[in-house]
Amino acid sequence: ANDQTELRIPIGEGCRWHEELAIDPDGNNEGPFLSDEPVKELGLGATDTHHGGELPDEVMQRIQGEAIKLGLPGMGAPVAQGGLGLSMVDQVAAWEALGRATNALCWCFPEAQSWMYEACADSPYQLETYVQALLAGERREAYAITEAESGSHEVVNTTARKTDDGYLINGEKWFVTSGNLADFLFVQARADGDGDALFIVDMDSPGIEVVENPLFSHTFPSHHPTYRFTDVKVPARNRIG
């Protein structure tokens, strides 16, 4: 867009974002289009951050509240489950607007993504306890996937040993973005005889410790800790799939 053109981002039908028709910079006047204005409500003033880039809890809660009003936690979630059901193209457009207006602040809200509904489809417990709680903004998630040996290819040495009532997880995960905000983790581990598997691990489970918390230029509000798992007990019902 040029300086004379007010930005409007095309979005799909049924989105709860503010919709209005406007002239597309490329000449396409077929709407609806997503206005930049609601996104700006998520932005920060210069006095909103602590030294070191930390966000006060009240500021983060305000941003999360605005995001929930806009339906952002459910951009990719199915409409039948209460989400927006946006296509990937529409989500990319929305994320572009978020990145421009808020930089790293998109991490201030949880995401109930479409893959979660597919992967957890056979477990009403997982859907209700974890996925729908993300959609409602009641819980936060983080992904514990990367390990020390990973580079351009994925390496998984973390193990999940089967027990009578679940699994014991042992290993170390790096760069767990938003781990400091999360209520639970999606942990990838090698299960006994089954190859790689994904587990939902509650953050208050005994045996989880922070090994390191390296600083990044986009630390606020999400940190990227290294976690060590030592005989962390995970119920069988928390294995995904």
Q: What is the pLDDT of residues 131-144, one digit of tens each?
A: 999 999 999 999 99
Assess contact for 90 and 15: CB atoms under 8 A: yes
Q: What is the pLDDT of residues 228-237, one digit of tens each?
A: 999 999 999 9
Distance between CA atoms of 219 and 55, rounded to whole angstroms?
A: 10
Q: What is the pLDDT of residues 23-41, one digit of tens each?
A: 344 444 344 444 555 555 5
pLDDT, residue 201, reads: 98
pTM of this structure: 0.80
CA-closest candidate to residue 100, choices 214, 216, 1: 1
What does 80-142 look like in DSSP terms, one character per residue? GGTS----HHHHHHHHHHHHHHHGGGGGGS----HHHHHHTTT-HHHIIIIIHHHHTTS--EE
Q: What is the pLDDT of residues 110-162, one digit of tens each?
A: 999 999 999 999 999 999 999 999 999 999 999 999 999 887 778 999 999 99
